[in-house]
Amino acid sequence: MKQDAGLYVHIPFCDHKCIYCDFYSIIKDDNKTIYLKNLLNEINHFSSIYSTFHQFKTIYFGGGTPSLMEPEYLGSIISHLKSKFQISEDAEITMETNPGTVSFDKLKRFREQGINRISIGIQSFDKKDLKFLTRIHTGEAAVQTVHDAYEAGFRDISIDLIFNLPGQTKRKWKKNLEIATSLPVTHISAYSLILEKGTILNKMVLKGEVEMQDVEIDSQLYEITMDFLAEKGFEHYEVSNYCKPGYECKHNQIYWDCLNYLSFGTSAHSYMDGKRWWNFSALTIYNTAVMNKDYAIAGSEELTQHDLYEEYIMLGLRSRGLKFKRGEKNPGLLGIGSEAWYMERKQIINQLVAAGKMVIDGDWLKLTRDGFLVCDEIVERLL
């Protein structure tokens, strides 16, 4: 039986580097032709290893800003992937984009290339918030991009939003949610602003130019998000992700379920059959490596059973939960979900259930709304 897996392709080209972003990107695209050639060669290399025993259910184009490329550019990658791997006929094929980088006509052409899901990095509809985040689009442009995507034939539309920005009030954040849910979107990713090392924002905070809001405000905005989106019919299926019924991001679920994924391009990370590896980030180093040996691995690691156990607990509780049967005699990963595993943690689990932080839902042990608020603490206790 073939194992389910996903494919990721990193497109590093961007028209602007935002102050909070820590993903690898470059503000020029004069290397895009040679980059495409190397991507295809890297795909060839790994297809000879992993094409036989895996069925790939998703393709995800991240960045950077993949939509800066011509639709045919991404289309040629999709065609090549389909020629080298066994890809499901109903595969979810996602492209990240930013408002202002695509027109209705370009979106329609992306749809014609086989892309059936779009993720739009809006972050905020508020003028001051967008200026702080150094986004180059307006709130009006963001709204228009969503409508254009829908008119172009996309029926699975996701948007990204960020809360707990400096000076952001509950009223301002709720306005963002009101606008978002008035649009034809099926999925919303709402993240708390996080300081990442090496970003422009982190340097601004260290210099005292920006003051972050405290944890209490962050929690209050998170609670508003959970409650408001629930009222609007969005299911809270992962710590930071909400969707209309049936519109979960299949690609992200591969990560959260600890399944295999194969990734290509600069800074891309892969996990296949217990082994994790990552590519060089710098475009010039990546290109040179692939031209010399058909791959660009910068480092790798073999995950131990303990590593897998910790990741399974952490990722499972952050999303759909842990497969769980108190009477189960056949243990899963290191006994998770077995009778022995439950008995060792029975007191902790019962306390969390009694406190309304967890619930046993059929065969699943899940976090509740209040549990999501203290997710990291619960993970630590169960580990």
Query: What's the pLDDT tens digit per position in 155-171?
Result: 999 999 999 888 889 99
Beta bridge partners of residue 301, listed in sequence order: 276
Token couple for 381: 């206790």
Predicted confidence (pLDDT) per residue in 282-307, tens digit: 999 999 999 999 999 999 999 988 88
Q: Which residues of the chain have pLDDT under 70?
A: 1, 16-29, 195-196, 198-202, 204-205, 209-213, 324-339
Residue 175, burial from CB neighbour count under 10 angstroms (0-12, 13-18, 19+)? middle
Rounded distance, CA 57 to CA 254, Å? 9
Residue 228: the pLDDT is 98
Decide: pTM greater than 0.85.
yes
Look at residues 321, 337, 320, 318 and name the one whose alpha carbon lies nearest to residue 329: 337
With beta carbons less than 8 A apart as the criterion, state whether 309 and 315 touch: no
How do the domains of the chain map onto residue ranges? Answer: 3-256, 322-382
Token couple for 359: 């619930």
Q: Is the CA virtual torsion 77, 82, 87, 90 positive or negative?
A: positive
Residue 252: the pLDDT is 96
- CATH number attached to the domain at 3-256: 3.20.20.70
